[in-house]
Structure 1
Amino acid sequence: MPEIDKNENAVTILTIAKMANVSHTTVSRALNGSSLVKPATRDKITKIAKQVGYVPNLSAKRLVTNRSYMIGIFFTNLDTGTSASFLTEVIEQAQGLLPKGYSLSINSVDNAMDEQGISVSNFDGIIVISQSASDDEFIEYLHKTGIPIVVLNRVINRNDINNYAVGDELGGKIATEYAIRMGHRKFALIKGLNKFESSAHRTKGFMDALDAHDIKVDSGLVKQGDYQPKSGNILMRQILSGGDIPSCVICENDDMALGALNACIELGYQVPRDISIIGFDDMGYSKYLVPPLTTVRKPTSTIIGMGVSRLVEMMDNKQHDDIEQKVVNPEIIVRSSVLDMNKIHFSSK
């Protein structure tokens, strides 16, 4: 192979074409993974490109393909309600599943609506991580533009957009039912952000489970949080400072459960000996807490996978006559933060 200057400006598609004895069109197609190029030729071109240190000109590629290679991810609100751990998990999952070369642009629906709309031409597709019905106006705007869009996390009340959501009500129910099976009858609840539908659904699941077992909860033990660790800490302090301490506290996400757990440690309570705690989400850190947190595993990776897969198909012009709308159910993950009251009752007899 002849010597060649590996300067970024010197190595071009024309350089590789000359070395491989093919047309520059063939090189362009091969480097973009086109099936029109024979595998042997594609392998030869890829090998040469690597050897000479070819760096693609993304601006030129965007002009040729008419793509921005940018995906927009919009959360309802980034200032309140969206925990840092959930934000990080969504971004990591989406980036790992997108085709090579794509970048993510993270923003909030609130910001997009405050500005004079967004320029959809900046994106090849958009993922809306919807947490509130307040997103519906933005979703309708995007739908009218015709840009590929998927809505994740929340069930939307329409049948013309691909939608992958979480069974939050079932999650609240199974968490509470597990605690009841463990012999708990006195509960407290630390709720999520009031305007987020996930909190309303999780609360309903909690209340339905109690009603099914004819268990009452003191209204003073139902606290309004905001999905952040600080609110979990403050509200757990209020619960522990009251005269009527529950045996089990259910938190509507793991971040608030983390704050609640720290409040117990700071006030001298042992979990689960003195009080039990259940979270929701099964964030990566939850199994490393002391004690490891019993929680509801939110199928975030599953709905992100479904959403990204469908979005990529839409961007590749693989149209579907059918619209996918699925609700993926969560599951209880049992660890060590819930005391089995049945064993205590049995041993005391």
Structure 2
Amino acid sequence: MKNIDKNENAVTIRTIAKMANVSHTTVSRALNGSPLVKPATRDKISEIARQIGYVPNLNAKSLVTNRSYMIGIFFTNLDTGTSASFLTDVIEQAQGMLPKSYSLSINSVDNAMDGQSVSVNNFDGIIVISQSKSDDEFIDYLHKTGLPLVVLNRVIDRDDINNYAVGDELGGKIATEYAIRMGHRKFALIKGLAAFKSSVQRTKGFTQAIEAHKIEVNANLIKQGDYRPKSGNVLMRQILSSGNIPTCVICENDDMAVGAINACIELGYQVPRDISFIGFDDMGYSKYLVPPLTTVRKPTSTIIGMGVSKLVDLMEDGQPADIEQKVVDPEIIVRSSVLNLNKISR
């Protein structure tokens, strides 16, 4: 090993691969802490590396491989529509899934398209957390650069990019159907940001369930929010002051549900005795609210896991021929914020 000079890292990785009877790509992933490598294999490779005295030099490696070890995550818009809780969840999950040698850079599609000092060429790979068709121009630009790319959260209208999305329409439907099974017929709806596809789809699911059961919803009880707690609070106050009090309010995310429930408490209404609530996303705090919030669990961790795994494959092995496009179904998480009207007389 003393005779190895400029190619020391590459040769040593291949030496480890030969000793462990695995590919050099597996060795690279294991030494970077990739979750794609089985723990037993990762431990075996780490032990061999320790025994032969291999010490990776990330600075040297970046020069040799022409990598920045930086992943760009682009949200549609960081100023409006993207809640702080969703942003935090995505970042934590993505960071936990990536090999340890990588760092994250967070920005918005809006900033990138406005030319605000965002150079995508600085990244080894890019994740777009897309909420709106307005992202399509940016996604097309990224695809043409040839950079490893995955698009998450929204179904895109093309078949040449890896895409993992959430079944928002189904989520809106199952939330509403659950409330109907609990005997509710008088609904209010607090919608998310109008420009975001998630809100459009959740509203569509709500409408499908309502129409299937021939339930009429007062137009004054359908409010346009922006996914933030303040909008939930303000709009709930409008609903309560209308004189037309619903038995159940469906909020298109948990943050708005928090604001709406707070408005009820401030104005003397009890949840769920007077008004029931259903949220969407199942954020980490939802089960700790009083009462714990019934909500639709958005499979964020699942799509992030799929997306990061695919991105790592693209960065390590180049652009494979097979493109994955999957929609992951959400599920209703039943807690205590919805009163069962079937068991009481009103």
Structure 2 CA distance, aligned partners of 1:112 and 1:31? Answer: 39
Shift in CA distance, 214/105, structure 1 to aligned 2, threshold 3 Å: same
Shift in CA distance, 32/261, structure 1 to aligned 2, threshold 3 Å: farther
Deviates more, 1:335-344 or 1:308-317: 308-317
Q: Deviations over 1:155-190 (max 9, x none)?
A: 000011010000000000000000000000000000
Counterpart secondary structure, 1:38: helix
Confirm whether residue 326 of structure 1 aligns to residue 307 of structure 2. Answer: no
Corresponding position of 1:213: 213
Confirm whether residue 98 of structure 1 aligns to residue 98 of structure 2. Answer: yes
Amino acid at match of 1:331: E
Structure 2 CA distance, aligned partners of 1:179 and 1:235? Answer: 20
Corresponding position of 2:32: none
| Structure-2-length-normalised TM-score | 0.88
Structure 1 CA distance, aligned partners of 2:114 and 2:311? Answer: 26
Shift in CA distance, 34/278, structure 1 to aligned 2, threshold 3 Å: farther
Corresponding position of 2:50: 46
Q: Aligned-pair distance for 1:121?
A: 2.2
Counterpart secondary structure, 2:301: helix
Corresponding position of 2:298: 298
Shift in CA distance, 38/29, structure 1 to aligned 2, threshold 3 Å: farther
Contact 2:111 2:118 in 1 (8 A): no
Q: Aligned-pair distance for 1:34?
A: 7.0
Structure 2 CA distance, aligned partners of 1:335 and 1:120? Answer: 43
Corresponding position of 1:166: 166
Corresponding position of 1:23: 4
Q: Deviations over 1:65-84 (max 9, x none)?
A: 22110000000000000000
Corresponding position of 1:86: 86
Structure 2 CA distance, aligned partners of 1:131 and 1:323? Answer: 21
| Structure-1-length-normalised TM-score | 0.87
Contact 2:72 2:120 in 1 (8 A): no
Structure 2 CA distance, aligned partners of 1:101 and 1:111? Answer: 26
Counterpart secondary structure, 2:155: coil
Corresponding position of 2:149: 149
Q: Deviations over 1:292-326 (max 9, x none)?
A: 00000000000001111111111112543221111
CA RMSD of aligned residues (A): 2.2
How many aligned residue pairs are there? 323
Structure 2 CA distance, aligned partners of 1:44 and 1:181? Answer: 59
Corresponding position of 1:4: none
Structure 1 CA distance, aligned partners of 2:191 and 2:204? Answer: 11
Contact 2:148 2:319 in 1 (8 A): no
Amino acid at match of 1:64: V
Shift in CA distance, 34/245, structure 1 to aligned 2, threshold 3 Å: farther
Structure 1 CA distance, aligned partners of 2:169 and 2:45? Answer: 54
Shift in CA distance, 180/231, structure 1 to aligned 2, threshold 3 Å: same
Shift in CA distance, 95/30, structure 1 to aligned 2, threshold 3 Å: farther
Shift in CA distance, 237/47, structure 1 to aligned 2, threshold 3 Å: farther
How is 1:57-76 mapped onto 2 (pairs within 5 angstroms)?
57-76=57-76
Amino acid at match of 1:28: N
Deviates more, 1:317-326 or 1:206-215: 317-326
Counterpart secondary structure, 2:74: strand
Shift in CA distance, 119/170, structure 1 to aligned 2, threshold 3 Å: same
Q: Deviations over 1:234-256 (max 9, x none)?
A: 11111111211000000000000
Shift in CA distance, 253/41, structure 1 to aligned 2, threshold 3 Å: closer
Structure 2 CA distance, aligned partners of 1:271 and 1:158? Answer: 44
Amino acid at match of 1:222: I
Amino acid at match of 1:63: L
Structure 1 CA distance, aligned partners of 2:188 and 2:51? Answer: 62
Q: Deviations over 1:98-137 (max 9, x none)?
A: 1120000000000000007843321110000000000000
Contact 1:27 1:45 in 2 (8 A): no
Structure 2 CA distance, aligned partners of 1:42 and 1:74? Answer: 33
Corresponding position of 1:9: none
Corresponding position of 1:180: 180
Structure 1 CA distance, aligned partners of 2:171 and 2:45? Answer: 52
Q: Aligned-pair distance for 1:38?
A: 2.5
Structure 2 CA distance, aligned partners of 1:42 and 1:106? Answer: 31
In structure 1, the gaps of 5 or more residues are 1-16
Corresponding position of 2:282: 282
Contact 2:16 2:48 in 1 (8 A): no
Corresponding position of 1:311: 311
In structure 2, the gaps of 5 or more residues are 21-43
Corresponding position of 2:244: 244
For the pair shown, the structure with the greater C-alpha radius of gyration is 1
Q: Aligned-pair distance for 1:47?
A: 5.7
